Amino acid sequence: MGGMTGRDRQRAALLLPALLLLALGFLAPLATVAWTSLRRAGHFSLAAYAEILASPVFLDILLRTLWMAVLVTALCAALGYPFAYCVATRARRHAGLIMALVTVPYLTSILIRSYAWVAILGGGGLVNRTLIALGLIEDPLQLVFNSFGSYVGMVHILLPMMVLPLYAAMRRIDGALLLAGRGLGGGPMPVFVTVFLPLSLPGLAAGSALVFLSALGFYIAPALLGAPGDYMLAQAIEVRVATLAEFDVAAGLSCILLVLVGGFLMLFRRRIVSLADDPASTPARVVGVAGLRPACAASAIGAVPGLRAALNAMGDAVAPLAGPLLHLHGAALLVFMLAPMLVVVLIACSSAPYLTFPPPGYSWRWFMALLDDANWLEAAWFSLTVSTAAAVAALAIGTPFAFGLARGRFGGRRLLWLLAVSPMILPHIVIGLGLFFTFVALGLNGHPVSFWLAYTVIGLPYVVIILLSALGRFDVDLERAAANLGAAPMTAFRTVTLPLLAASFVTAFLFAFLSGFDDLIIGLFLSSPRGTTLAIRMWEDIRLEISPKTAVVGVVQLGVLLVAMTLPMLRTMLPRRRVRTEA
């Protein structure tokens, strides 16, 4: 960074708070995990790793983790691709609404969604009751607490991560290109294969990478919906800590998981970076690739004489069915994604004293029960304050970071971006373990400050990603105009940048808040009598008695979310500020 000007140095200084936070709340804990994995009885030792590698179940768990991640990725791709295709090409008019509906489950707690699946797939659940009522089966099928339940839960949770980048990539495909393909004599099928498919591949790659990496570190869905013995790596780590108190082995497993995810992350980083409006990537490269690929594919098709004819014939055969099938698939998938939300609402209003679906009647009793339960209220208050404080901090620290990264012209920006975003991608179980070790060493574990710091760290990536993409679209000339017209930097920020990016700031805050509020895994490590979050209360409740209280929390959260999503729409209807020009 030798040739930095004064202004660039100032911009680099904007990164400092975030770097400090990441060093303290992310890198140091990860280092502590590595350190712990290498020590036994106060000495350096590889005993933990020896134990792990010697254990016959370890290989099972590792292979199962990889296999499940691959399968879930494939399922998400197979289900998500036609869905995104249908929304992007055939339902463009309602695309905004549909994508908003896809985001809703993405924004509600994983815990609540998994809980809803128990109600839907359980022995007395919706699916089994329907099948029995239809006379198709006599005894309930085992749909949950086995690997099937695990897959359903994981696919449901990760599907939006596949659909969103896919849809974004497909929307960018120029309709004129497809028409040109038709004009050059391609039927619908060859045009899809030679033009559309190659152009949508970056979205598929980005979605697959995100889903795969997240699936590797999954904990809640497999723990709640899977078979008791069907461990994935994250569960194995949790058991070592919570049940066996074998910290060095847990740390060793964490390091293995970290290396696995980190390795794949480095492998996929191009795909992921290109997805998130990376400040360092050049549009020219994207255009170049976009222009090249279809051309290559087209020439490849032309080179195989029979292929074109075969594709055409296939297209002709499938064409009349394709439209209805796509719409059917889209509708079914939307139902799949939204059903748990609906079920949560119905359960919350149930009059039954225990979890049953469909409810025998409706009442507010569970809302009342929640309001009467001091434990739950205390936990809710704790979650609310800690997550709000963390979201404020993440915004305060992430905003200068995003500005520095978007406006600065120094090297290493891609790496800094990846660092700030990695708390979102790396498994939270590992981050939680590291924070646990760190806070115990500092005597802070369970203190609200420990939650605050942890949730600031995991909220930061959302702030950085959302603000960077907003800044990428923001016209810098507007800030220059403000300065040129006499506004000092802070005034320009307050009067121009802030109001224009308000929606993005609100979104960033919301995501940062939810990342803390919905967290379970890190909370499980940090919780103590001094601090218990709402998610932990729900977790204990689901594991022990399964009352509809969790559903009530889900409904409240859903309600708040819907209000937050509709607020920006209301804001645009307000009249704008005016100067009274009549003297």
Partner 1 sequence: MMEGGQAVEIQALRKRFGAVVALDGVSLTVRPGEFMALLGPSGSGKTTILMAVAGFERADSGHILIGGRAIDRLPPHRRDIGMVFQRYALFPHMSVAENLAYPLRRRGVASSELARRVEETLSLVKLEGYGGRGIDQLSGGQQQRVAIARALIFRPAVLLMDEPMSALDKKLREHMQMELRLLHRELGATIILVTHDQEEALSMADRVALLHEGRMRQVGTPAELYRNPADAFVAGFIGRNNFLPIADGAPPRVQGFAGPLGAALAEGSAPPVGGHLLAIRPEHLALRAPDAEGEPCRIVEVAFGGARQSVLAEVAGHRVTIEAPATERLWRPGEAASLGFHPRTARIFPPSDQH
Residues that bind partner 1 (CB under 8 A): 3, 5-7, 475, 477-478, 480-489, 491-492, 495-496, 499-500, 576-583
Residue 310 CB, nearest approach to partner 1 (Å):
48
* Closer residue to partner 1 (CB): 139 or 582: 582
- Cβ-count burial 60-78 (b if 16+ within 10 Å, e if not): ebbebbbebbeebbebbbe
Residue 493 CB, nearest approach to partner 1 (Å):
12
* Closer residue to partner 1 (CB): 176 or 583: 583
Residue 10 CB, nearest approach to partner 1 (Å):
12
- Cβ-count burial 437-457 (b if 16+ within 10 Å, e if not): bbbbeeebbbbeebbbbbbbb
d(CA 147, CA 228): 10
* Closer residue to partner 1 (CB): 133 or 583: 583
565 exposed, middle or buried (CB, 10 Å; 0-12, 13-18, 19+)? middle
Give start and end residues of each alpha helix (H) in 108-246.
110-121, 126-133, 147-171, 175-183, 188-191, 197-216, 220-225, 233-242
Residue 298 CB, nearest approach to partner 1 (Å):
33
* Closer residue to partner 1 (CB): 302 or 489: 489
Residue 141 CB, nearest approach to partner 1 (Å):
57
* Closer residue to partner 1 (CB): 351 or 491: 491
- Count CA within 13 A, CB hemisphere, residue 61: 24
Total length of the chain: 583
* Closer residue to partner 1 (CB): 85 or 403: 403
| 524 touches 536 (CB < 8 A) | yes
| 44 touches 38 (CB < 8 A) | yes
Helices (H) and strands (E) in the chain, counts: 28, 2
Residue 500 CB, nearest approach to partner 1 (Å):
6
| 79 touches 159 (CB < 8 A) | yes
* Closer residue to partner 1 (CB): 310 or 502: 502
| 281 touches 274 (CB < 8 A) | yes
536 exposed, middle or buried (CB, 10 Å; 0-12, 13-18, 19+)? buried
d(CA 523, CA 424): 16
Residue 506 CB, nearest approach to partner 1 (Å):
15
* Closer residue to partner 1 (CB): 372 or 477: 477
Residue 282 CB, nearest approach to partner 1 (Å):
14
Residue 462 CB, nearest approach to partner 1 (Å):
24
Reduce the DSSP state of residue 44 to 3 states and report it: strand
* Closer residue to partner 1 (CB): 3 or 305: 3
